[in-house]
Amino acid sequence: MISNKAREKSLRNGFSHQEHNTAAANVAILYEYSHLLLERPDRKGNYDVTIRYYETHIEFFPSGKQGYAQIMMKMSNIEGNTLYTIELIGIKNKSDLIDEPLSEEAIRASDPIIKLTIITIKCQFMLNL
């Protein structure tokens, strides 16, 4: 499932539905290369839940558009087992880790860029009646 709230956040930041959906479909890969921004307890006071926010630098092909995928991880302790869920919460133009944009050389030297290819799939259905 894709969150409408997350998709609208990406759209407000200048990214298309297709770019958001591509990032959401690759959220596990994006998470692997992400940086931790913040960890907080559950807002409802559930001590068995911890929320972590991450981000990673991404680039879309063939457009070359770049941004920062924001990812939320929810860790829930259920009967001694930890359940992890991750979701894309939006794509931004600016990193929350830095105050001002870095030069392209500085970005490439310090941060891997996850490159996602936009693929358009057209399906055609034939009905035999």
What tens digit of pLDDT does each residue of 82-108 get?
999 999 999 998 776 655 444 555 445
DSSP state of 76: E
Taking each helix axis from N to C end, the angle separating 4-12 and 17-25, rounded to the nearest 10 degrees, works out to: 130
Q: Is the pLDDT of residue 5 over 80?
A: yes
The CA distance from 5 to 105, in Å, is 33
Find where tokens 């092909």 sit.
61
Q: What percent of the chain has pLDDT over 90?
A: 40
> Going along 1-129, which residue ranges are E strands?
35-41, 49-61, 66-78, 81-92, 114-117
Determine the average pLDDT of the residues in 13-22. Answer: 90
Domain spans in the chain, listed from the N-terminal domain onward: 4-117
